[in-house]
């Protein structure tokens, strides 16, 4: 019927989250919370659906209440997005943002020092 199980889908998503974002947590829910707003809203919504489907699947009375087609669609969307992420470019951007912030803070510090020297002397 369907080629992938819910457990394999969530395991694959968890593996990609750890690989791309170094997400911490014991399950998909904690990993998504750990990443926070680094994921776009639509991607987070798909991950939330997988978390809800997994919770339903664990309950024997509600196990039939998840949609396998939607699970596969969510998996495809999540995997496509996560595989596009380039970890080295995000690190480079982080270093650039850190360096820019440092330069701006040093400029403000030097400017305040110059104003203080001019005011005093």
Q: What pLDDT does 63 receive? A: 81
Residue-wise pLDDT tens digits, 56-112? 888 888 888 888 899 999 999 999 999 998 888 878 888 999 999 999 999 999 999
CA dist 118 and 75 (Å) reads 62
Q: How many other C-beta atoms are found inside a 10 Å radius of the C-beta of residue 50?
A: 22
Q: How confident is the prediction for the chain on average, in pLDDT?
A: 90
CA dist 35 and 47 (Å) reads 12
pLDDT of residue 17 exceeding 90: yes
- The band of 2, judged by pLDDT with boundaries at 50, 70 and 90, is low
pLDDT of residue 8 exceeding 50: yes
User: Counting beta carbons within 10 angstroms of the beta carbon of residue 28, is it exposed (0 to 12), middle (13 to 18) or buried (19 or more)?
Assistant: buried
pLDDT of residue 22 exceeding 70: yes
Question: Are residues 16 and 79 in contact, defined by beta-carbon separation less than 8 angstroms?
Answer: yes
Nearest to 71 by CA among 97, 52, 88: 52
Question: Residue ranges of the domains in the chain?
Answer: 1-85, 86-121
Q: What pLDDT does 1 receive? A: 42
């Amino acid at each position: 019927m369907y080629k992938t199980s819910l457990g394999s889908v969530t395991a694959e998503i968890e593996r990609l989250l750890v690989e791309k974002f170094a997400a911490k947590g014991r399950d998909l829910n904690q990993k998504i919370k750990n990443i926070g707003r680094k994921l776009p809203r639509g991607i987070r919504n798909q991950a939330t659906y997988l978390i809800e489907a997994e919770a339903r699947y664990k309950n024997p009375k509600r196990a039939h209440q998840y949609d396998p087609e939607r699970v596969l669609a969510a998996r495809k969307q999540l995997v496509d997005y996560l595989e596009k992420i380039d970890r080295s470019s995000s690190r480079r951007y982080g270093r650039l943002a850190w360096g820019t912030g440092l330069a701006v803070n040093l400029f403000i510090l030097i400017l305040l020092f110059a104003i203080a020297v001019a005011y005093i002397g």
